[in-house]
Every structure is written in structure tokens, then in C-alpha cells.
């Protein structure tokens, strides 16, 4: 027979027992959950889906997999945060990948290539937003020996130390292949030109090719000028496949080049001798520093309809997209007014070897950049 005092002892022990059971259960649950979390960080787990075969092969050939020091970095080192709360958020977001796995969104190499740019841009954007946090788990500013780096690396890392850039701005394509940008740029060009040529011209137009000849007649004969991409034009009339247009700009000392504005040496067109004889002079201004006379002029002629788009803003949006995509493969893109035109020309010349754009596309991008650059006279 249990005495009342015995019941009291059991009753007082029950909360302690329950708490103990709760703690033990929590430890077991937490240990199991954390063990599973760590398992999902393993290289074996990350590469267990056949969708990962493409990136696995690329990774295996990279410096992060095999290097002289023998210290590798696996998938989770680059793609999963180490702080627990941020890691948990990343794991929750990763559940969307199960959805696309079920749909087979990237279950063939061909499908993966079609989505490679979007996948890469997601990673690049996240790394830029967190200041390349996962890179810095292994690579620190304090441990870099700058004097052992190449002059170019020292120059770029100086910007990193000054907070102007972050690791991913320059180190894309380290563990995985970059997207096929040449193919993408060709598709962008084809898509833009198809849209531009399918649109109706109004009283305004823009040159959408890197260069087109302006002729004296609607049969293409009698070259007056070479008009460069982005040159705005006033439409006068259209006859068949040819459009009569007028171009306005500025010449300097009655030279052969038409510039975008007074005392701003960004070229819109280069005239032939015949073209120089046919210009209409609208006004003149004296540039005081060098006492040069600038003339606002107008030149009228004919260009093929296939060289014109109806919307100047859409044209420059297309060119801006080229600039952002291509330059951002190697480094952070810069605003056009960061440098004067002289410095921009030198920088663009130096970067030519790295571009994925065609020479024609590069000319359009150079034109766009120089239009927004500071005048050489504005140098600090």
C-alpha cells in the first residue's frame, strides 16, 4: 500500500523526470538534425544527383579540387555559410532545388547549359551581397603576401582592400566553366535587331549597326559619311529599302568628323569630301581654352532601312546589357563618369583581350561608354 507521502515524492519527481526526458530527447533530436545538416554538406551528398555531373567534372579540373598545397575546397565551402543561422536559411532556400529536380529542369547537359547563366548569376549576386563571405573563410586580407602577386593582381587586390570590390567581382569561373557568352551575345543581337526591324519608323531613328554608310542617293551611290552605332537621326521619308535621314552634330575647325556635342569629342560620324561639301552650318561657337571654332552642322542623305531602329532608348539598353554582362565577368562594372575619355579609351584598349564580345559589339559598347565619360578637360 502506497502511502500519501510516497505519492508526494513521486509527484515532486515527475517534473524533474519530464525535464530530463525532454533534455535527452532534445539532445538526440538536435544531434540527429545537426548530423543530417552536416551530411548534406558533404561532397558525396552534393554530387549524388546526376544533375551535378556537369559541374562535378568541371570542379575536378579546378584549383579548388587539386592544387600544389593539397588543400581542397568542396562544394559546401563555397556555397554554404558557416554561421549556423545563415546556414539554416540557405538549407531552407535549397528546398526549391528539390522542386526543380522533380521537374527535371537541368537533368541533361543541354538543359544545364541553357540555364547556366541564370544559375551562375544567382551565385554571383549572393556572393556580392555578402561580400564574398565564403571565399573569406579561407582567403583573408591579412594573410595575402602582395609582393608575391603579379602586378595586375596587386592592382586589383588594392581595390579589394579599399572596399571598392569583392572577391567574386574578379574571380568568376574559378571552379566551374563560365557560360557561353559569345552564343548569348549573338542571341541578344539577333533578338534586338529582329525587334528593331519589325517596328515602324516614326520621325526619329537610331543607327543600330556598328557602322553604316550614308549615301547621296536612295540607290546607295555617292558616299557622304560613315555613321556610327547609336547616332540619332531625323527621318524625312522612306523609299523602298532606303530611308532619307538628317544627322545633326558638331564639327571642329570644319574637319571631317561629326561630334556628339560642342567641345565633346565623341564621334557620331566621319564625312567624305562630298559629305563635307553638302553640310548645312547651323551655328558656330569658339572653344576658349584652345581657341577652336566648333560648328553645329546638319547632313542629309540616305541609309538602308536595315541599319535603323525606331527607339534610341531600347538600343542603348541593349548595349548597356552587353557592357554589364561582359565586363562583370572579370570585375565590377564602373559608372561611365568615373574616368575622363582619355582614360576610358586606354582602359578599353587594355581590356580588349578579355572580352567575349565581337569587335562590332565592342565598338558599340565603347561608343556608349565614351558618351557618358567626363570630358578630358574635366580631369582632376
* Domain range summary for the chain, segments of one domain joined by +: 1-39, 43-179, 202-310, 313-378
User: Alpha-carbon distance 235 to 213, whole Å?
Assistant: 16
Q: Which of 175, 174, 173, 139 is nearest to 157 (CA)?
A: 139
pLDDT at 10 (0 to 100) = 47
Q: How far apart are CA 119 and CA 328, in angstroms?
A: 15
Interatomic CA distance for residues 222 and 86, integer angstroms: 67
The residue ranges of DSSP E strands in the chain, in sequence order, are: 204-207, 211-215, 223-228, 232-239, 242-252, 257-261, 264-271, 280-287, 292-304, 308-309
Q: Which residue, among 271, 282, 280, has the nearest Cα to 222 in the 3D structure?
A: 271
Dihedral sign (CA 193, 195, 201, 205): negative
Three cell numbers at 365? 559598347
How far CA 171 is from CA of 132, 135, 168, 182, 356, in Å, comes to 10, 10, 5, 19, 16
Residue ranges for the chain with pLDDT beneath 70: 1-13, 30, 33, 376-380
Q: Cα–Cα distance between 266 and 369 in angstroms, integer?
A: 10
C-alpha cell read off for 268 = 557620331
Q: What is the pLDDT of residue 380?
A: 55
Q: Which three cell numbers stand for residue 155?
A: 592592382
Quote the cell numbers at residue 22.
525532454
**Hey, which residues does 176 pair with through a beta bridge?**
none
pLDDT, residue 20, reads 73
How many Å from the N-terminal Cα to the C-terminal Cα in the chain?
99
Q: Which three cell numbers stand for residue 342?
A: 582619355
Residue with cell 595586375: 152
Give the torsion sign (CA, 347, 351, 357, 362). Answer: positive
**Within 13 Å, how many C-alpha atoms sit on residue 110's CB side?**
0
**Rounded distance, CA 112 to CA 106, Å?**
5
Q: Which CATH architecture does the domain made up of 43-179 adopt?
A: Orthogonal Bundle (1.10)
Cβ-based neighbours of 38, under 8 Å, separated by 6 or more:
none
User: What is the pLDDT at residue 377?
Assistant: 63
Instruction: At 59, give phi and psi (nearest 5°).
Output: -60, -40
Q: How far is C-alpha 4 from the chain's CA centre?
A: 79
Phi-psi region of 316 (alpha: psi -120 to 50; beta: other; left: phi over 0): alpha
DSSP 329: T
Nearest C-alpha neighbor of 182 from the set 366, 361, 335: 361
Amino acid at each position: 500500500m502506497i502511502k500519501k507521502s510516497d505519492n508526494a515524492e513521486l509527484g515532486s519527481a515527475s517534473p524533474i523526470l519530464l525535464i530530463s526526458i525532454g533534455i535527452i530527447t532534445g539532445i538526440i533530436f538536435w544531434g540527429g538534425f545537426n548530423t543530417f545538416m552536416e551530411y548534406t554538406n558533404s561532397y558525396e551528398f552534393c554530387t549524388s544527383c546526376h544533375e551535378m555531373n556537369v559541374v562535378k567534372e568541371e570542379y575536378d579540373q579546378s584549383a579548388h579540387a587539386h592544387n600544389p598545397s593539397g588543400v581542397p575546397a568542396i562544394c559546401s565551402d563555397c556555397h554554404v555559410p558557416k554561421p549556423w543561422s545563415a546556414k539554416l536559411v540557405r538549407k531552407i532556400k535549397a528546398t526549391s532545388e528539390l522542386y526543380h529536380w522533380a521537374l527535371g529542369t537541368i537533368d541533361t547537359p543541354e538543359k544545364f547549359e541553357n540555364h547556366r547563366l541564370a544559375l551562375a548569376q544567382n551565385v554571383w549576386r549572393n556572393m556580392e551581397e555578402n561580400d564574398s563571405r565564403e571565399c573569406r573563410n579561407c582567403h583573408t586580407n591579412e594573410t595575402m603576401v602582395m609582393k608575391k602577386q603579379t602586378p595586375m593582381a596587386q592592382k586589383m587586390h588594392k581595390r579589394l582592400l579599399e572596399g571598392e570590390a569583392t572577391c567574386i567581382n574578379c574571380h568568376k569561373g574559378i571552379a566551374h566553366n563560365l557560360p557561353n557568352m559569345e552564343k548569348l551575345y549573338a542571341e541578344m543581337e539577333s533578338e534586338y535587331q529582329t525587334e528593331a526591324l519589325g517596328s515602324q519608323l516614326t520621325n526619329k531613328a537610331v543607327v543600330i549597326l556598328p557602322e553604316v554608310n550614308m549615301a547621296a542617293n536612295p540607290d546607295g551611290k555617292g558616299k557622304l559619311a560613315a555613321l556610327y552605332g547609336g547616332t540619332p537621326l531625323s527621318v524625312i521619308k522612306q523609299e523602298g529599302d532606303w530611308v532619307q535621314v538628317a544627322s545633326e552634330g558638331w564639327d571642329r575647325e570644319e574637319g571631317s568628323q561629326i561630334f556628339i556635342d560642342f567641345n565633346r569629342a565623341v564621334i557620331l560620324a566621319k564625312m567624305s569630301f562630298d559629305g563635307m561639301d553638302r553640310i548645312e552650318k547651323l551655328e558656330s561657337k569658339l572653344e576658349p581654352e584652345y581657341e577652336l571654332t566648333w560648328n553645329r552642322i546638319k547632313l542629309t542623305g540616305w541609309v538602308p532601312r536595315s541599319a535603323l531602329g525606331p527607339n534610341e532608348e531600347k538600343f542603348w539598353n541593349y548595349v548597356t546589357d552587353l557592357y554589364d554582362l561582359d565586363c562583370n565577368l572579370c570585375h565590377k562594372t564602373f559608372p561611365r563618369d568615373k574616368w575622363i575619355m582619355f582614360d576610358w579609351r586606354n582602359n578599353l584598349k587594355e581590356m580588349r583581350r578579355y572580352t567575349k564580345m565581337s569587335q562590332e559589339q565592342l565598338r558599340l559598347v565603347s561608343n556608349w561608354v565614351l558618351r557618358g565619360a567626363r570630358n578630358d578637360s574635366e580631369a582632376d
